[in-house]
C-alpha cells in the first residue's frame, strides 16, 4: 500500500512539473519572458548581377543544330574545312570564335 501511495504522489509531482513547464513558468515558479528578435547588424551579401550580355547564335536557314568536331590535318586550309561541311569561310570562322 505504501508503494502505491508513493507512486501516485510521484505521478502527481511529475504532472505538476509538466503543466508548469508548458505554461511558461519553470519549476521554481518564476515566469519566463519571450523577447522577439528584430533585424541584426550583420552585413548581407547582395545577389550577384551578371555583367555578360545575353547572346545567341542563329544557324543559317536549313542548317541543323548538331555540334560537329573535325581534327585539322596537315595541309588542310580553312577553305577546305568549310567546303567539307558545306558552309562559308566566314561561317566557319565565326562559329569558331575567330571573327571579331
Give the per-residue pLDDT at 19.
47
Hey, is 87 helix, strand or coil? coil
Q: How many Å apart are CA 13 and CA 19, to the nearest integer?
A: 10
Q: How many Å apart are CA 4 and CA 9, to the nearest integer?
A: 9
Average pLDDT, the chain: 73
Hey, is 31 helix, strand or coil? strand
Hey, is 40 helix, strand or coil? coil
Pick the more confident residue, 31 or 97: 97
The three cell numbers of residue 77 are 586550309
Q: Averaged over 51-78, what is the pLDDT?
A: 79
Give the per-residue pLDDT at 29.
63
Q: Averaged over 22-38, what is the pLDDT?
A: 66
Give the per-residue pLDDT at 95.
87
Contact 90, 79 (CB under 8 A): no
Pick the more confident residue, 66 or 82: 82
Give the per-residue pLDDT at 38.
77
Give the per-residue pLDDT at 7.
55
Amino acid at each position: 500500500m505504501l508503494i502505491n501511495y508513493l507512486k501516485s504522489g510521484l505521478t502527481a509531482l511529475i504532472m505538476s512539473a509538466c503543466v508548469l513547464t508548458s505554461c511558461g513558468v519553470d519549476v521554481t515558479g518564476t515566469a519566463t519572458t519571450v523577447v522577439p528578435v528584430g533585424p541584426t547588424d550583420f552585413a548581407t551579401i547582395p545577389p550577384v548581377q551578371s555583367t555578360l550580355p545575353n547572346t545567341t547564335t542563329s544557324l543559317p536557314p536549313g542548317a541543323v543544330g548538331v555540334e560537329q568536331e573535325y581534327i585539322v590535318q596537315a595541309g588542310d586550309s580553312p577553305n577546305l574545312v568549310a567546303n567539307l561541311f558545306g558552309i562559308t569561310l566566314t561561317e566557319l570562322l565565326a562559329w569558331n570564335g575567330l571573327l571579331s
